[in-house]
């Protein structure tokens, strides 16, 4: 999606929807499955939020100074794998598309297993478009020290629940680092240039809760903390 001046990880796009014009940063991707796949609720999500169902108030984390040369291989192509994303708003799960995006899914899983995503934030929340996180600097300009290139399927549509990777305007299609976004629009209308990661398979209500915190400035009204990302294989 969007990133600040410097190293842009997201491209601002203007696309028309019936009777409306949406200006958004480009950071989105889709995997297969119907919208019904995104409506189930993680069993643990209600236990991790406050009693009234709102997000727990947390302090903004400090920037992380961590870097890797390249990701190690932790997932095989076609292997069933799920990323469990625990936040202060609840938990949601991403079915990683290791078949169509093996390099991208492997990089994400590698960073997760290294604890890279723990205590990062969703720094960008563009309501009704996308929520974006995974920047160690928390500014929209950081990354893990390397990039991965894997062009998404040419027929990819960035629809509700699809999870993809951010890139700068000048990066080739399919370039990614650590920043990812979840599509909250019925169809974000983006070109197939953003590396596919997977699709939300459980806890989409948590994604909606985060999306509801967005503002016109695309900044959440409170800190949305990624407490932990774990990978379940098989």
Residue with the bigger pLDDT between 157 and 21: it is 157
Range of the domain at 172: 11-49+66-233
pLDDT for residue 50? 52
Domain count for the chain, please give it: 1
pTM of the model: 0.81
5 located within any domain: no
Q: State the pLDDT at residue 149.
A: 98
User: Domain of 78: which CATH number?
Assistant: 2.40.100.10
Specify if 57 maps to a domain.
no
Question: What confidence tier does 13 reach under pLDDT thresholds 50, 70, 90?
Answer: very low
Work out the average pLDDT over 96-106: 98
The pLDDT value given to residue 77? 98
pLDDT at 36: 40
The answer to the question of residue 93 being in a domain is yes
User: Looking at the domain assignment, is residue 27 inside a domain?
Assistant: yes
Q: What is the pLDDT of residue 53?
A: 66
- Compute the average pLDDT of residues 62-81: 97
Residue 224 has pLDDT above 90, yes or no: yes
Tens of pLDDT along 106-154?
Answer: 999 999 999 999 999 999 999 999 999 999 999 999 999 999 999 999 9
At residue 2, the pLDDT reads 44
- Examine residue 61 and state whether it is found in any structural domain, yes or no: no
In-domain check, residue 170: yes
Please spell the DSSP secondary structure of the chain, one letter per residue.
Answer: ----SSS--SEEEEEEETTEEEEEEE-----SS-GGGG----TTGGGGS-TTSSPPP-PPPPPP----SSPPP-S-TT--EEEEEEETTEEEEEEE-TTT-HHHHHHHHHHHHTTTTTTEE--EEETTTEEEE--TTSSS----S--EE-PPPTT---BTTEEEE---TTSPTTEE-S-EEEE-SSB----TTS-EEEEEEE-HHHHHHHHTT--TTS--SS--EEEEEEEEE-
Q: What is the pLDDT of residues 162-221, one digit of tens each?
A: 999 999 999 999 999 999 999 999 999 999 999 999 999 999 999 999 999 999 999 999
The pLDDT, as a whole number, for residue 34 is: 35
pLDDT of residue 130: 98
* Model confidence pLDDT, tens digit, residues 15-66: 333 333 333 344 433 223 333 444 333 333 434 455 556 899 999 999 999 9
56 in a domain, yes or no? no
């Amino acid at each position: 999606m969007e990133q600040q001046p410097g190293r842009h990880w997201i491209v601002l796009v203007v696309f028309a929807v019936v009777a409306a014009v949406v200006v958004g940063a480009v950071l989105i991707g889709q995997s297969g499955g119907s919208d019904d796949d995104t409506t189930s609720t993680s069993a643990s999500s209600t236990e991790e939020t406050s009693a009234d169902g709102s997000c727990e108030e947390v302090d903004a984390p400090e920037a992380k100074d961590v870097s890797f040369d390249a990701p190690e291989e932790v997932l095989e192509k076609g292997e069933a794998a799920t990323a469990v994303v625990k936040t202060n708003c609840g938990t949601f799960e991403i079915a990683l598309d290791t078949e169509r995006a093996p390099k991208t899914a492997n990089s994400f899983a590698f960073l997760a297993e290294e604890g890279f995503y723990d205590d990062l934030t969703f720094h960008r929340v563009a309501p009704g478009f996308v929520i974006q996180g995974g920047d160690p600097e928390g500014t929209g300009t950081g990354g893990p020290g390397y990039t991965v290139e894997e062009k998404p399927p040419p027929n990819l549509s960035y629809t509700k629940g699809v999870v993809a990777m951010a890139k700068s305007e000048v990066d080739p299609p399919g370039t990614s680092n650590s920043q990812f976004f979840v599509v909250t629009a019925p169809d974000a209308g983006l070109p197939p240039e953003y590396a596919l990661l997977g699709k939300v398979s459980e806890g989409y209500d948590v994604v909606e809760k985060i999306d509801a915190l967005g503002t016109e400035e695309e900044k959440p009204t409170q800190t949305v903390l990624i407490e932990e990302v774990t990978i379940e294989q098989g």
